Amino acid sequence: MIHVRNLQKTYKDIQSGQFTALAGISFDAMPGQIYGLLGPNGAGKTTALRILSTVLKPSGGSAVVNGFNVIDQPEQVRRQIGFVSCNTAIYDRMTSWELVQYFGQLYGMPLDRLHSKMNALFERFQMNEIRDVLCSKMSTGMKQKVSIVRAMIHNPPVLIFDEATSGLDILVAREVLKTVEQLRDQGKCIVFSSHIMSEVKRLCDRVAIMNRGVILAEGTPTYLAEKHQENDMEELFYQLISRSEAQLESNKNAEVPPHNLTLPLAN
Amino acid sequence: MNWPTIKLIFRRELRDQLRDRRTLFTVAIMPMLLYPLMGMAMMQVAQFMRESPSRVWIVGEEKLPASPPLIVGGKFNSTFGETESQLIELIGSSAGDGHFESLVKSATSDSDDSSSVEEIIRQEMQKRKMDLAIFIPNQIQIPEHSGPDTATEGQLSTPASATQVFVLTDSAIDKSRIASERVNRILNEWSKEFSKETLVANEIPTSMIQGVVFTTGDVANKTGKQAAAWSKILPFIIMIWSLTGAFYPAIDLCAGEKERGTFETLLSSPAARSEIAFGKLLTVMTFSMATSFLNLLSMGFTGIFVLTKLGAGMGAGGPLPIGIPPLASLGWLLLALIPISALFSAVALAAAAFARSSKEGQYYLVPLLMISMPLMMIPMLPAAELDFGTSLIPVSGLMLLLRSLIEANYTDCLKFAVPVCAINLACCWLAVRWVIHQFNSETVLFRASERFGIGAWLKHIMRERRSLPSLGSAILCGVVILVAKFFIGFAVTAPQNFGQFALQTVIILVATIFIPSVMMALFLTRNPKKSLRLNGCKLTMAAAAILAAIFLNPAFTWLTGLIMHIYPPSGDMLMLQEAVSRILGSAPGLWAIILIFALAPAVFEEIAFRGFILSGFQSIKGKWKPILLTSLMFGLAHGIIQQTMITFVVGLVLGLIAIQTKSILPCILFHLTHNSLAVLLSQANRTVVEQSPVLRQYLYSTDGQNYQYATFPAILMSFVGVMLIIWFLQLDTKPSNRSEAYGRVPHPN
């Protein structure tokens, strides 16, 4: 469903000249699977997801979403995905109903089909009470619900959640995670980025642990635990990141470019 | 582009803006409140101004003649100005304050010197005790006729018998200026009456002083006068408000959306960037038009009401000479609102798309206003009129066209509507392209605030240098040349002889064209030689360039004639040409003229334009866009509009030769030959032509002075010239490694 190969992204920076956000990452995410991107702030998770959603163009490598290349076929890719970001990103001066309808129309859905789909989703997410409420009057949890419904309205085969539970209270966060699980069970391919270990351990079928634009480790949570002989996901994450930082520091002293980083992953 | 998607985005943005209280206030509520409030304030002020009397002190009132009486009952005689006399309060007179009376007495009793009285007046005026003072030093009486005037020439301005009255005001104080206007009107009338009585007393008929009577008349009808008055005000008002009305929604729709994070969501939807841009543009345009229209409406109603009231209150002055704008002018305004709003909306959207936050967006408002204001002010000047030159100025041309439409000057409108619309549409199109480009630009969409320092920036420039100049460097070089040429124009003085002229020309070429381009090539590129296209070329290419210049010369000469016929040179330009011809007469020889007019520009201009600037523009894909842009800049650098058009066309050929031969050497040869032929043709005279059997076949003249190419040889030569251009076109231009040259990272494909 999603095939990422040697994906690279560099930004120009007036201070340092060039900043490498992604130094060549590769992974595959399949339908009915939640693929977790795990990493600290600045690891490159959001950059990778923005490339998958065609908002950014890669500097190198390739990414294919449901058979469409993000570079050559961005419009087709955008029809295959639903994107939920951490900052809810909804229009304050629209009601939840208007907002979802607007995006449904942008995806070219006929009004009758759109309305029946909207009715079903509003019912399922218990949003009928807020359908005529302006988004500016909603709580963060409600806004995130609207954002998820907005991303699902065109029934995309791929859903991208970029730190979607960030800033939510535990009740709403659980509801979001439950929704993500349900979507996975419906056969959707889900890419889920987070830096909360418990979420990743509970949800993800496969995980890629990232730091500074590279994937340090990749596999199922069980496989990673066995490989690194560490059952505690948080501890495993901490060890990998610490080693990566130490390695980067020594490479920096030896003036080795960061994308040449190699890590001893196994103990 | 998908129009239903644009319509969808437009409707959403419109609804969104209509739900924003700030926008609604700015667009609808403010105009409805602003003007009535301003009108009320104006009426209040006007009322206050009418009721405020001027305080006038007369020193030496007793020296006034009994007839005609200037002061009656402690006030100015109302016969000499009824309204004015009511608005003047006399102090220091018999009806005035005792303080002034005692001051006068002390001053006149202490000394006979009038300067002491003037000093007292000055001091009292500084203390704001009065607005104006009249000082009568000597007794005024009707003089008696005493034979012919014996005053010698030079003393006529102050005849011995003239009585002086001093009227002292303080021009730094408004009240004093108003008092001066009022008092002068009364004094003038009184003076006329005094003169009449003098004539009567001396038994001279008053008709003796009647000179030439000037009777003024105004042939304009009422509608025409009103249209003329409104034609200057209304276009300016709608321009200002359409820009203001466009800017705030534009900031909210671009920078605001980036700030709120909704832009990313929109960009990940199937809507294309161009559809998003057009949807937003339509929204901004709607608000721009609505703001302008509502302001116009509110201001119109308030203005008419206030003017009517003020006019009625003026009494003798009657209503002010400005009434309700003619209906036709309102129609033209509404029609013109569409292109005006489109232009400003596109420009505002372009500026707002670049901003990463609403706050940053507002910073861009000031420079945008600074650029727009002078363009809006030009048409307000009395001398400004719609001609080809002004029609090419964005905004100004549009405003002048609108002015002409309101004044019902349809002939000019028809003549210049096409260039005005074309230039403004082009600006609009460029702005929309810029917006789409901004929506595609990651650095604009996701850039974070960077700490900016000159050192870091310079390091960045040096580090990011490419082999060849970037597009930005090319534009910068062109702008530097244009600005430098503009400023050096103020510094130079008119040369007196050929030597001065030659030196001045070379200095201008070197300082404004050669040095900027070479410096930029040295500091902004890694390969200055390649950037300036300082490559050798085959002998055939050099020869073909010279031949092309020779054979295309009749075509260029014909084009020059055509342009001069359509857009005749202005008086200033003719004077300049005449001055140059005069100076050329003192040249040591033809070689010197060719050196200055042909060789120097050929070398310096080719290095800058076909060298650095064209190399920079070549970072744009394709062959013709870089040539077109370079030629445009080359034309603009020549300043005079007719010359701009001619050099633009010559620049196209030069650009083509530069790209096809990858060297500026053939360009220099073409330029040198082209300019030399122009010089030779201008210097050709009957003796030279008649003596040459070849020239006799090719040139003819109707007046024996100005020679032109004969038709048949001209067509034949042009055909050969075109063949040579085709030869250049078929030259093998193996594409160089563009990515490497311009420092681009190869695309993943």
Nearest residue in B to A6, CA atom? B748
Chain A residue nearest residue B452, CA to CA = A14
- DSSP bridge pairs for A210: A215
A13 at B interface, C-beta within 8 A: yes
pLDDT at B687 over 80: no
Cβ-proximal residues to B379 (8 Å cutoff; 6+ apart), any chain: B232, B235, B236, B390, B396, B399, B400, B403
Distance from CA of B372 to the nearest CA of A (A): 32
Q: Which residues of A touch B272 (CB under 8 A)?
A: 75
Residue A145 to residue A135: CA distance in whole angstroms: 11
Contact list in A for residue B442 (CB cut-off 8 A) is 11, 56-57
Q: What is the pLDDT of residue A234?
A: 82
Residue with the bigger pLDDT between B623 and B696: it is: B623
* Model pLDDT for residues B130-185, shown as the tens digit of each residue: 888 888 878 887 776 655 544 444 443 444 456 778 888 887 777 888 888 889 98
Higher pLDDT, B706 or B221: B706
Bridge-based pairing of strands B88-91 and B54-59 is parallel
Indicate yes or no: CB of A61 within 8 angstroms of CB of B745. no
pLDDT at B158: 46
* Mutate: best of A105, A137, A163, partner B, most B CBs <10 A: A105
Closest-CA distance, A112 to chain B, in angstroms, reads 17
From chain A residues 106-145, the ones with a CB under 8 A of any chain B CB are 106-108, 134
Q: According to the model, what pLDDT value does residue B549 have?
A: 94
DSSP bridge partners of B710: none
Would you give the distance in Å from CA A231 to the centre of its chain?
Answer: 24
Of A108-122, B507-521, B558-572, B669-683, the poorest mean pLDDT is in: B558-572
Query: How many angstroms separate the CA atoms of B189 and B186, rounded?
Result: 5
- B648 or B157: which carries more pLDDT confidence? B648
Q: DSSP label at A194?
A: E
Q: Which two tokens stand for residue B451?
A: 């700490």
pLDDT band of residue B231 (cuts 50, 70, 90) is confident
Coil, helix or strand for B59?
Answer: strand
DSSP structural state of residue B609: I
Could you tell me what percent of chain B has a pLDDT over 90?
17
CA distance, residue A115 to nearest chain B CA (Å): 16
Taking contacts as CB-CB distances below 8 angstroms, the residues of chain A near B460 are: 14, 17
Give percent above pLDDT 70 in chain A. Answer: 92
- For residue A124, pLDDT over 80 is answered with yes
In this predicted model, what pLDDT tens digit does every residue of A215-236 receive, in sequence order? Answer: 988 888 888 888 888 778 888 8
| Mean per-residue pLDDT over chain B, rounded | 80
Q: Do B268 and A14 touch (CB under 8 A)?
A: no
| Backbone CA torsion sign across A111, A113, A116, A121 | negative
Under an 8 A CB cutoff, do B745 and A59 touch?
Answer: yes
Looking at residue B20, what is its pLDDT? Answer: 77
Instruction: Compare B144 and B430 and report the one with higher pLDDT.
Output: B430
| Overall pTM surpassing 0.95 (yes/no) | no
Does residue A7 sit at the B interface (CB-CB below 8 Å)? no
The contacts of residue A248 (CB under 8 Å, 6+ apart) are A212, A258, A261
pLDDT at B542: 93
How far is it, in rounded angstroms, from Cα A91 to Cα A75?
A: 23
Interface probe with B: pick from A8, A59, A78, A91, most Cβ of B within 10 Å: A91
Least confident of B45-59, B297-311, B323-337, B348-362: B45-59
Taking CA atoms, B32 is separated from B1, B213, B282, B294, in Å, by: 38, 50, 24, 7
With CB atoms and an 8 Å threshold, state whether B749 touches A72: yes
Calculate mean pLDDT across residues A136-157. Answer: 88
The predicted pLDDT at position B555 comes to 92
DSSP string for residues in B463-476: HT-BSS--HHHHHH
Where is pLDDT greater, at B501 or B149?
B501
Q: Are B109 and B101 in contact (CB under 8 A)?
A: no
pLDDT tens digits for B475-498? 989 988 988 887 777 677 778 888
Residue with tokens 């300019």: B675
pLDDT at A185 over 80: yes
Mean pLDDT of the region B626-643: 88
Whether the per-residue pLDDT at B740 is higher than 70: the answer is: no
Query: How confident is the model at residue A5, as a pLDDT?
Result: 92
What pLDDT does B552 receive? Answer: 93
Residue A259 distance to chain B (closest CA, Å): 16
Q: Using CA atoms of A194, A197, A199, A204 in order, give the dihedral in degrees to the nearest 10.
A: 80
Q: Which pLDDT score, from 0 to 100, does residue A43 have?
A: 86
Other C-beta atoms closer than 10 Å to the C-beta of B689 total 17
The pLDDT assigned to B665 comes to: 94
Cα A120 to Cα A11, A109, B657, B698, distances in angstroms: 42, 15, 67, 87
Alpha helix (H) ranges present in B90-218?
A: 98-110, 114-126, 174-201
Averaged over B437-442, what is the pLDDT?
A: 80
Minimum-distance CB partner of A14 among B260, B267, B456: B456
CA A264 to chain centre: 27
Residue A172: predicted pLDDT: 79
Predicted pLDDT of residue B663 = 92
pLDDT of residue B456: 66
| Cβ(B325)–Cβ(B230) below 8 Å | yes
Residue B669 above 80 pLDDT? Answer: yes
Give contacts of A81 with chain B, Cβ < 8 Å: 268
Sheet holding B54-59, edge to edge: B88-91, B54-59, B132-135, B166-169
For residue B56, list its beta bridge partners.
Answer: B90, B132
Query: What is the rounded (10 degree) CA torsion for B5, B11, B12, B16?
Result: 160
- Whether residues A83 and B12 touch (CB distance < 8 A) is answered with no
Chain A hits for B463, CB-CB cut-off 8 Å, are 17
Task: Give the A:B interface size as CB pairs under 8 Å.
Answer: 92
Assign 3-class secondary structure to A61-115.
EEEEECCEECCCCHHHHHHHEEEECCCCCCCCCCEHHHHHHHHHHHCCCCHHHHH
Lowest mean pLDDT among A217-221, A238-242, B22-26: B22-26
Q: Which residues of A touch B445 (CB under 8 A)?
A: 55
Given an 8 Å threshold on Cβ–Cβ distance, is B269 in contact with A106?
yes
* Among chain A residues, CA nearest to B20: A93
β-pairing, A189-194 with B699-701? Answer: unpaired
Interface test mutation site (partner B, options A9, A15, A79, max chain B beta carbons within 10 A): A15
Identity of the residue in A11, A55, A75 whose CB atom sits nearest the CB atom of B264:
A55
Chain A hits for B269, Cβ within 8 Å: 78, 103, 106-107
Contact A258, A20 (CB under 8 A): yes
**d(Cα B650, Cα B628) in Å, to the nearest integer?**
11
Q: How far is CA B681 from CA B79, B163, B563, B708, in A?
A: 76, 71, 18, 8
Mean per-residue pLDDT, B273-302: 88
**Whether A57 and B442 lie within 8 Å, measured CB to CB:** yes
Which of B19, B268, B450 comes nearest A93 by C-beta?
Answer: B19
A93 has a chain B CB within 8 A of its CB: yes
| Of B640, B678, B672, residue with least CA distance to B654 | B672
Alpha-helical runs (H) found in B585-664: 590-594, 600-605, 614-617, 624-636, 641-661
- Are A107 and B261 a contacting pair at CB < 8 A? no
Amino acid identity for residue B441 in this structure: S
Q: Does B704 have pLDDT greater than 80?
A: no
In this complex, the residue of A14, A55, A134 whose CB is nearest that of residue B460 is A14
Quick check: A54 and B19 CB within 8 A? no
Q: Compare CB distances from B272 to A15, A75, A98 and report the shortest one's residue.
A: A75
DSSP element (H, E) containing B45:
helix B30-51
Among the ranges given (B446-450, B611-615, B715-719), the one the predictor scored with the smallest mean pLDDT: B446-450
Give the DSSP per-residue string, B502-526.
Answer: HHHHHHHHIIIIIHHHHHHHHHHBS
pLDDT at B361: 81
Q: How far apart are CA B683 and CA B692, in angstroms?
A: 15
- Confidence class of residue B698 from pLDDT cuts 50, 70 and 90? confident
Tell me, what's the pLDDT at B119?
A: 77
Give A14 or A128, the one with higher predicted confidence.
A128
Q: Which of B377-391, B554-568, B601-615 has the highest mean pLDDT?
A: B601-615
Asked whether the predicted pLDDT for residue A51 surpasses 80, the reply is yes
